[in-house]
C-alpha cells in the first residue's frame, strides 16, 4: 500500500514539474509570438480610443434576388430597456406566398452613449 502511495506521489510531482516547465517555456516564447512580424504581411489593429464615436460596420454583403421583395416591419423606433427579452410576432404579407428564394433580415440599431449592458440577439 505504501509503495502505491509513493508511486502516485512521484507521478503527481512529475506532472506538476512538467506543468511548471511548460508554463515557463510558454512565458519565454510569448513576447516573440506577440510581436509584429513584418514577414506576415499583417499589421496589428489600432487600439481604439476611449470615448470616440467610432461606428462599427458589421454589414455582410448579402446578395438579394432580383424580384420585388416582400417586407415586414417588426418594429420602428422601439425603445428596449431592461433584461427581459422582447418577443415579436410576424407573418408574411398576404400577397407574398412562398416558396421564397431567400429571406433577408435587415436591422438598424442605435444605442445611447455611455456604459452599455444591453445586447441585441436575433
Please tell me the predicted confidence (pLDDT) of residue 68.
82
Domain presence at residue 15: yes
Domain presence at residue 102: no
Number of domains into which the chain is organized: 1
Domain presence at residue 6: yes
**What are the cell numbers at 114?**
455611455
Domain presence at residue 27: yes
Q: Which domain holds residue 27?
A: 2-40
pTM for the model stands at: 0.40
Q: Can you say how many angstroms the Cα of residue 91 is from the centroid of all Cα atoms in its chain?
A: 29
In angstroms, the CA 26 to CA 85 distance is 43
Q: Can you say how many angstroms the Cα of residue 17 is from the centroid of all Cα atoms in its chain?
A: 36
Name the helix (H) or strand (E) containing 14.
Answer: helix 2-34
**What contacts 24+ positions apart, CB below 8 Å, involve 117-122?**
118/80, 118/81
What's the pLDDT tens digit per position in 87-112? 888 888 888 888 887 888 887 777 77
Amino acid at each position: 500500500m505504501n509503495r502505491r502511495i509513493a508511486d502516485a506521489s512521484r507521478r503527481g510531482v512529475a506532472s506538476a514539474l512538467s506543468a511548471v516547465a511548460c508554463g515557463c517555456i510558454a512565458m519565454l516564447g510569448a513576447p516573440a509570438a506577440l510581436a509584429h512580424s513584418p514577414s506576415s504581411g499583417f499589421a496589428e489593429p489600432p487600439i481604439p480610443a476611449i470615448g470616440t464615436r467610432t461606428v462599427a460596420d458589421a454589414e455582410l454583403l448579402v446578395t438579394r434576388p432580383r424580384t420585388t421583395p416582400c417586407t415586414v416591419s417588426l418594429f420602428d423606433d422601439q425603445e428596449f430597456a431592461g433584461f427581459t427579452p422582447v418577443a415579436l410576432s410576424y407573418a408574411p404579407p398576404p400577397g407574398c406566398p412562398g416558396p421564397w428564394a431567400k429571406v433577408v433580415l435587415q436591422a438598424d440599431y442605435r444605442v445611447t452613449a455611455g456604459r452599455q449592458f444591453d445586447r441585441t440577439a436575433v
